[in-house]
Amino acid sequence: MKDGFIKVAAATPKIRVADCDYNASEIIRLCREAAALGVKILVFPELCITGYTCGDLFLQDTLLTAASRAVTRIAEETRELDMLIAVGCPVRDEWRGKLYNCAVLLNRGEVRGLRPKMHIPNYGEFYEQRWFTAGIDGWNGDVKFAGQRFSDRISTDGCFVCEGFPALSVGVEICEDLWAADPPSTGLARAGATIILNLSASNELVGKAAYRRELVKNQSARLHCAYIYADAGEGESSTDLVFAGHNMIAENGVILAESRFKAGLTVSEIDIARLSFERRRNTTFTPQKLSDEFWRAPFHLDIAETALTRPVARNPFVPPEKEQREERCREIFAIQTQGLKKRLEHTGSQKLVVGVSGGLDSTLAMLVSAMAVRELGLPSDALVAVTMPCFGTTARTRSNATLLAEKLGAELRVVDITKSVRQHFTDIGHDELDRSVTYENAQARERTQVLMDIANSINGLVVGTGDLSELALGWATYNGDHMSMYGVNAGVPKTLVRYVVGWYADTCGDAALSDVLNDILATPVSPELLPAENGEISQKTEDLVGPYELHDFFLYYFVRWGMGPAKIFRLAKYAFAGAYDDETILKWLRTFVRRFFAQQFKRSCLPDGPKVGSVALSPRGDWRMPSDAAAKAWLSELEELHV
């Protein structure tokens, strides 16, 4: 459970209806198989000891006694397994003369507690009220089961809490409980449960699987929890129904693993630390006031390393599927356009001014600006593109900037800043052969001055081009390209900028414009502040600060999920295995941490710009951080790592 990860599984055994001994053997077999994989929490379906489809046999003492004995056997034969196991079983309450559909929680050879089903369906194909009584809200029972008396551990209100790892708190509901108007899992999560187990026997109908999947995803999202759903499958009676074993493991609205029409194990890892962070962060997730009746049953698991198998995307900002990716690009572009339109209308400005370099960021800003102008009904030349060549400008980028402006119908202005920058060097006594930061920043600040003054002269508004990744790294000249009157790219990470421009190239319907955009996409990312070599770009950003795909990965997990550098390093090694070696990842992670802390002062005075995703760095919105916060603790954590 290092770094908060715990391996979990949903299991569907192939059963025989009413053959408890056979079913126990299959359950034990799957328990051992799961243990060999490192699984620590294992969930079986509803009434899996007997089978869900026993009908009136549930009223027979012979079946109920066999079921109790089967649980005793499972507990004994899994005593040595380091695992919390949930199995479904009918449980008699001889004091009240009633029968309950229960989840039985086993750990280290003991029954840790019983959880009765609260919502008993009696409609359509379901008629459970013929046999079972509901465990009502707040109810505590007193029953003898599997050789033990449960006077304080059979309840609808309670969680199972791991000794030594209290953030691992497990709540349980059964099948229909999730489909009810007020699922018990809501109260259990508010009482601290970070993982909800659902023992289910949900039959298959056309379209039901999609609905069931959305229920599980949405409940895990609303409760900021993990949800393990184990469904009945092979071996259940098919007299009237078919059960497909639709098993799912979800975390905070994302399905991590899923299987259907297949017996066996569905395995993944839950990140408990990530869920705990999300609950701390979300102030509308309010804890539930615990009553005296609310109990917490302990269970024990060894604290150990968890091998990862769950999906960890290299590009967390970029959807993997083409259709989703295109929809994401379309939505981002619309948000950017809407924000810029509002700012243009509000200021009463007549024109938009964009410094266009032939690079990705300024290209996206140009495309958004052109769309805003079009949607406001302004003439296309209300967009003013300014290209400002200097020492490092190459023919390729200058040509692409010119062609882009022409294809968008923008007014193109060329302002060569070489002479004015050289005059500035003379004024401040800087040797032009000294290619230090002064040499580079003088060009960036001169360009910003040109843009601002042109905007003033034409009642225009300067549109910023810097993206989210550059803001995170502070890769902008303070009061140079750092400054604008509205930063349309401020919420878009570099890895996604590339896809938005590519999406526009594919969908614009203009072959010539598409050709220009595709050549821009193929151009190395560069500020072009150092002289070209043989006409080619000599200064490549990713050689200086590191690959943007790594930095965007670091940014996502640092800001969105509050992860420390050591855990980010672990995930990055897993996600980028075969692409970067460990030394390279660690090198650029150190760079990210150092720059993120050192460059906060630039983010503290950012221009306005639209938030487009779950990660944003506006000092007025998502990210509040002092400009002089020390990075020592984060860097020290990295120093303790061994590659």
Catalytic (active site) residue 175 = yes
Full strand arrangement of the beta sheet holding 84-93? 110-116, 98-107, 84-93, 41-43, 5-12, 264-271
Angle CA 547–540–393, to nearest 5: 150
Q: Spell out a b/e string for 391-420, using b for 16 or more CB atoms within 10 Å of the CB, else e.
A: bbbbebbbebbbbbbebbebbbeebebeeb
- According to DSSP, residue 321 is labeled S
- Which structure tokens are listed for 534? 């043989």
Of 25, 308, 41, which Cα lies nearest the Cα of 199? Answer: 41
Q: Which of 117, 217, 407, 567 is catalytic?
A: 117
DSSP 413-443: EE---HHHHHHHHHHHT--TT--SHHHHHHH
- Which structure tokens are listed for 117? 């089903």
Which residues are CB-neighbours of 369 under 8 A, at least 6 positions away? Answer: 340, 352, 354, 383, 463, 488
- 102 touches 154 (CB < 8 A): yes
- 189 touches 223 (CB < 8 A): yes
- 202 touches 212 (CB < 8 A): yes
Alpha carbon distance 38, 57 (integer Å): 37
Alpha carbon distance 30, 23 (integer Å): 11
Provide the pairing of β-strand 226-231 with 195-200.
parallel
Supply the Cα-derived Rg of the chain in whole angstroms: 31
Q: Which amino acid is at 177?
A: D
Catalytic (active site) residue 48 = no
Q: Which amino acid is at 402?
A: T
How far separated are the first and last CA of the chain, in Å rounded? 21
Which residues are CB-neighbours of 409 under 8 A, at least 6 positions away? Answer: 370, 380, 381, 383
For residue 301, the surrounding DSSP H or E stretch is none
HSE-up of residue 419 (Cα within 13 Å, Cβ side): 2
Alpha carbon distance 81, 60 (integer Å): 32
Number of helices (H), then strands (E), in the chain? 20, 20
Q: Which amino acid is at 382?
A: A
Which residues are CB-neighbours of 451 under 8 A, at least 6 positions away? Answer: 353, 355, 386, 462, 484
Q: Which of 46, 278, 446, 470 is catalytic?
A: 46
Q: Which of 31, 54, 175, 225 is catalytic?
A: 175
Of 11, 13, 10, 9, which Cα lies nearest the Cα of 235? Answer: 13
Which residues are CB-neighbours of 611 under 8 A, at least 6 positions away? Answer: 491, 618, 621, 622
Catalytic (active site) residue 411 = no
Catalytic residues: 46, 117, 175
